[in-house]
Amino acid sequence: MADWIGIGRRARRCYGFDEVALVPGSVTVNPAEVDTTFILGKHRFPVPIMAASMDGVVDVKFAIAMGKLGGIAVLNLDGIQTRYDHPEEILKQIASATPEEATKLVQSLYENTKFPVKEKLIAKRIEEIKKAKVPAIVSCIPQNAAAFSKIAAEAGVDAFIVQSTVATVRHISTEYKILDIEKFCKNTKVPVIIGNVVTYEMALEILEAGASGVLVGIGPGAACTSRGVLGIGVPQITATVDCCAARDYYFKRKGKYVPMITDGGMRIGGEICKAFAAGSDAVMVGSAFAKAEEAPGRGYHWGMATSHANLPRGTRIRVGTSGTLKEILMGPARVDDGSQNLVGALKTSMGSLGARNIKEMHDVEIILAPSIQTEGKVFQIGQRVGMGK
């Protein structure tokens, strides 16, 4: 599976969304009759798409709107929503900053010493979401998980995500206290999702530690620069296939099915469909939702590692505002580039592939297709419309 890249050193070829395509099945299904249900703990979500826990994407209002449409929006407990009583003013500052000012501004606004997270705001934001009778799902970094999860549980949170650039069970440090993932999963009364991982071994160890879900993906997000700054990451098709293989092995041994969630790198419906074909049970998307009228970023999106004091690993990008959340998620689409009606795209793809549910989607044929984005698209590319944008 590996090629020589020099004397004594081999490297494995890995694949991203642009390099593969899905092959239609010999049986097709009415898209209106396919089942896209995603199960997490006791909850069943008709929309297996999560809005990423990024401050330019999710606030309380967005989480409520997403929940009412049947999906999941993850609120970031380390961010602006829990540091400032009136986050709208801060979001306006970020949106109005010049590109040169943006990274420095975001670093300062997330600084823990000047603007720490307020515990009362953690509870308040969760209670505001729950008041609308939709599930509340939140995330934070490992260092804050033990403290924040207790507050979140008391406020009625439905699931808790512990998210870092690279998640491992065997983290080593002498400078700070390490989160015991196994103990945390065991003691937390709601489903715990751990991320992010990109390999079979990483995924399997987290599954064995008791996670209720695993996030897959390092550095593919539109606003993330970890791959450029740190040189780490695995293209999302290969990462998803490998981690889902760990899920299936774990299920065969333990009889417990734990969902895999492909996180990042998906801009359009076709890429979401490919993630499910690679084995994903749900996907987490950021930039597509940052374009929604309801998104708090005002047409901007920024990576959540930007706040690192000495090594920013995210950038603020302008994505614009293309439509309402309902249009982006459910349609009707008003643009021709695949960025709207994501659920409709998934259902239509499943129908064409003959997949009646998400698990059947895992078994469809995937081919290597390096020309899939360009074949016959010379006019679209030349005119920068449709697939040529």
Question: Would residue 224 show up in a list of annotated catalytic residues for this protein?
Answer: yes
In this structure, what DSSP letter does residue 51 have?
E
From 83, 125, 185, 224, the catalytic residue: 224
Q: Are strands 192-197 and 213-216 parallel, antiparallel or unpaired?
A: parallel
CA distances to 5, 105, 108, 181 from 195, rounded to whole Å, are 30, 27, 26, 11
Q: Is residue 206 within 8 Å of residue 181, measured between CB atoms?
A: yes
- What whole-number distance in Å separates Cα of residue 65 and Cα of residue 204? 34
Tokens 């390099």 identify what position?
A: 19
β-sheet bridge partners, residue 285: 51
Phi, psi of 43 (to 5 degrees): -95, 145
Q: Is residue 257 within 8 Å of residue 251, measured between CB atoms?
A: yes
- What whole-number distance in Å separates Cα of residue 370 and Cα of residue 145? 41
Spell out the residues 6+ positions from residue 113 whose beta carbon is closer than 8 angstroms to its own: none
- What whole-number distance in Å separates Cα of residue 62 and Cα of residue 272? 21
DSSP 244-295: HHHHHHHHHHHS----EEEES---SHHHHHHHHHTT-SEEEESHHHHTBTT-
Return the closest-CA partner of residue 132 out of 75, 89, 85, 91: 75
Q: How buried is residue 283: exposed, middle or buried, by Cβ count under 10 Å (0-12/13-18/19+)?
A: buried
From 13, 44, 318, 334, the catalytic residue: 318
- What whole-number distance in Å separates Cα of residue 45 and Cα of residue 179? 29
Q: And the tokens for 14?
A: 């890995």
- Backbone conformation region of residue 117, classed left if phi is above 0, alpha if psi is from -120 to 50, else beta: beta
Phi, psi of 293 (to 5 degrees): -60, -30
Catalytic residues: 224, 318
